Structure 1
């Protein structure tokens, strides 16, 4: 169902061109290079960066699971159940602020977050840096990537951030349609896009070009279990409107990143559409953008089909050999 469609969508309008992803943004102080990306990729998949040697960045951001983990909420050090779902790193280079509560202003900052957290990788930096400085393979990789810098947690973070910047999805059926392939979207998916921009009002928060406004909204996800006291963005900025508000996730490749919402409470895309159609569940401090929208079953299915059209077919990925 996801990728089978008729080839009869109308051509995109001039206004639709705003959804074309631009080139990767420049990063001051950490330019992309083959060497830094290769180093970052290797570090990303190395469980030896964690205190117990059993977790890597890829443990939660698995390329075969849409660069997420397929779980309702993440698992941390010693399998500890964490209160929030693992966000995908797909197209994270375009994000202006990171994490569900926006506590990291850059990918470099975010890369250190799980390592510094006692609940996640719980990294012993003295031990890890000693290992990296004594490993001939890593010594060579760091020298090539950052020849004028020491091996420290900041150069580690820069390399990991640069690898994450290369995890880009820009070849979905929707992207091919924008590029002029009229047959890339089905009529159902095209109708879903019109609903997305219009009646369903999804574009209010999931704006062009990366389907996010980089804002924080309380969308009425029911509280449950360990997340009952999770106030989201309010932890970072104590303004009433931020209570229960979480960052708007981008949507490219969404069909490959189930389950959905910051607590993993919706397992399918139709459940997501139903949630928005009924205006959310928990009305406490609900965003003013959340209210019931009357959608018939065909309209809901068209929206789901459009979301499939934002997703790329699964692809192979070469895991690096660790030095």
Structure 2
């Protein structure tokens, strides 16, 4: 098949590649970027300690706790950050693809809603856990890395807001916190439903001042901001930046976790792990080669890799691409070599955050491990019933439509950054045991917890 030469042009500070999709023949990206499994053992990381995390103010975190559980930050005042990131479900939601604006309930029992308020689209990606997001080492967020620390737009970040991003954030975590608020299907709502959704369709930064006014005009919030932020002398001074900084302070302090049996073992306690967990550790850092990507103190290289997970849902792609598919990192960079690659997740408390993968394709740790061992075989045996998708009959026509596109499925199968290997059932069991040993021992006693009420007076998400 012939291939066009790439046509390069400037696009808002990002590199682009205009090659036609037909150029992605089988093996093209695999040849360029394949990562062969290494038989050499990887050294254990240094222990993760409090020194590896940014410092945050506890008074600001107390505001952030209330805001995290307060529906005041959503366009229709019907969903909070906690709805998709609740501690009852490992700071995720127990679903493959989230049910955002318009849904009803919490966690795996959340439904897609009814009538005019029902959801119009599933969230394209799995809701990640929030553990250790205050780590100093973190430089990139979201499954496709569309937020990163960079000078692309001369404001310290490469983000979906581009040059319209506000300034003054205390961390990349704070920067991340403002984007779900203005995402139509996550928290903002649909056009003509509320002033937030309407403002977003003018420009992304137009909604944040409206949200900030909502918050600061509630007397209890206004007083708390004046007390917690030195540069805030009256509630009128509060902007989305202070709101984001408070949210980041809460998330970072509430969900810092480095007291698992694995952490104790790294710190020198040889008895912290069982024999099965030690065998799993040896596999993780040796024969199974997991640490080639899940490396360092945070168990992530913060890079992007193609695993060939079973595709489903609305996908996430480039603005000009009408197809229902998820192109991964390429949706951010527009580079063909980034197609179908997703960020390596961190693994502390991974046993609590099922289902697994960027789209939650596997409900168990064994399932996602087996996929890593042989992506092609796993893809062939995977069935739609495996996905945790709340019923939404009006969306079923697109939930698995990508499987009907032979060319798209071939393109996805052509990209693999892992090579097949064989492990015994016992070895897989040992790996699962080790991953369970990454669970913190003090998770039931967080610094703040779930508030009984919030200043807005709106309902607080509580599990059944």
Residue 113 of structure 1 is matched in structure 2 by 179
Distance 2:44 2:144 in 1: 30
Distance 1:263 1:306 in 2: 23
Distance 1:245 1:293 in 2: 20
User: 1:133 offset after TM fit, Å?
Assistant: 2.3
Instruction: Identify the match of residue 251 of structure 2 among 157, 164, 186.
Output: 164
SS of aligned partner of 1:182: coil
Q: TM-score, normalised by structure 2?
A: 0.62
Q: Which runs of 5+ in 1 are unaligned?
A: 1-14
Distance 2:275 2:309 in 1: 31
Residue 319 of structure 1 is matched in structure 2 by 450
Residue 174 of structure 1 is matched in structure 2 by 262
Residue 273 of structure 1 is matched in structure 2 by 369
Q: Which runs of 5+ in 2 are unaligned?
A: 1-42, 104-118, 149-171, 189-195, 197-206, 316-323, 380-408, 456-464
Instruction: Identify the match of residue 305 of structure 1 among 405, 409, 433.
Output: 433
Matched, 1:287 2:328: no
Residue 54 of structure 1 is matched in structure 2 by 78
Residue 23 of structure 1 is matched in structure 2 by 51
Q: Deviations 1:166-196 (Å, cap 9, x if unpaired)?
A: 1111111111222233222111111111111
SS of aligned partner of 1:258: coil
Q: Which moved more, 1:38-47 or 1:253-262?
A: 38-47
Q: Deviations 1:22-45 (Å, cap 9, x if unpaired)?
A: 52444xxxx611111111111111
Against the structure 1 CA distance between its residues 145 and 24, is the aligned structure 2 distance closer, same or farther, given a 3 Å change threshold? farther
Against the structure 1 CA distance between its residues 168 and 125, is the aligned structure 2 distance closer, same or farther, given a 3 Å change threshold? same
Residue 147 of structure 1 is matched in structure 2 by 230
Distance 1:119 1:245 in 2: 23
Against the structure 1 CA distance between its residues 47 and 297, is the aligned structure 2 distance closer, same or farther, given a 3 Å change threshold? same
Instruction: Identify the match of residue 99 of structure 2 among 75, 78, 85.
Output: 75
Q: Deviations 1:264-298 (Å, cap 9, x if unpaired)?
A: 1100011011111114537534233x111111111
Q: Which moved more, 1:118-127 or 1:157-166?
A: 118-127
Instruction: Identify the match of residue 86 of structure 1 among 127, 138, 149.
Output: 127
Report if aligned partners of 2:45, 2:296 keep a CA contact under 8 Å in 1: no
Residue 261 of structure 1 is matched in structure 2 by 357
SS of aligned partner of 1:16: coil
Distance 2:178 2:48 in 1: 31
Matched residue pairs, number?
A: 304
User: 1:212 offset after TM fit, Å?
Assistant: 0.3
Q: Deviations 1:40-94 (Å, cap 9, x if unpaired)?
A: 1111111111111111111111011111111111111113321110011111122
Instruction: Summarize the alignment of residues 210-225 of structure 1 with structure 2, pairs less than 5 Å apart.
Output: 210-225=298-313
Report if aligned partners of 1:234, 1:244 keep a CA contact under 8 Å in 2: yes
Q: Which moved more, 1:56-65 or 1:17-26?
A: 17-26
Q: Which moved more, 1:31-40 or 1:118-127?
A: 118-127
User: 1:97 offset after TM fit, Å?
Assistant: 0.7
